Amino acid sequence: MHPSMHQLDQKDRRLIARIRRAVVEVAFIIFLFYANLLMGEFSATNGPGKTLAFACRDIFTATNFLIALMAALIGHGVVHYLRKKL
């Protein structure tokens, strides 16, 4: 294999690894956002007797997803910045 092809292959692998890491970090932040919303649905102030299905219908909305996505992207950016600084 030609040396320049090997270097390109290494760059491609690093890029794919960075993209995978970013996707995992963003997905984890979104998971935490929805977990927090779900816990809030079952707090004492929201009334007893709520079912999981009702809570899921209440929290899984397009607006909540956009908020979660924006927060996750900002959170990923902050973590990425701090990772480089430290």
Residue 53: domain span? 24-85
Let me know if residue 79 belongs to a domain.
yes
Q: Which amino acid is at 86?
A: L
Let me know if residue 72 belongs to a domain.
yes
| HEC letters along 8-75 | HHHHHHHHHHHHHHHHHHHHHHHHHHHHHHHHHHCCHHHCCCCCHHHHHHHHCCHHHHHHHHHHHHHH
Strands (E), 1-86: none
Virtual CA dihedral for 45, 59, 28, 65, nearest 10 degrees? Answer: -140
- What would the pLDDT profile of 49-63 be if each residue is shown by its tens digit? 778 888 888 899 999
Please list the pLDDT of the chain residue by residue as tens digits (86 residues). 565 666 768 888 899 999 999 999 999 999 999 999 998 887 766 666 778 888 888 899 999 999 999 999 999 999 999 999 98
First vs last C-alpha separation in the chain: 37
Let me know if residue 69 belongs to a domain.
yes
Let me know if residue 59 belongs to a domain.
yes
pLDDT of residue 3: 58
pLDDT of residue 46: 66
Give how many domains the chain has, as a whole number. Answer: 1
This prediction has a pTM of 0.78
Let me know if residue 53 belongs to a domain.
yes
Let me know if residue 10 belongs to a domain.
no
Let me know if residue 41 belongs to a domain.
yes
pLDDT of residue 26: 96
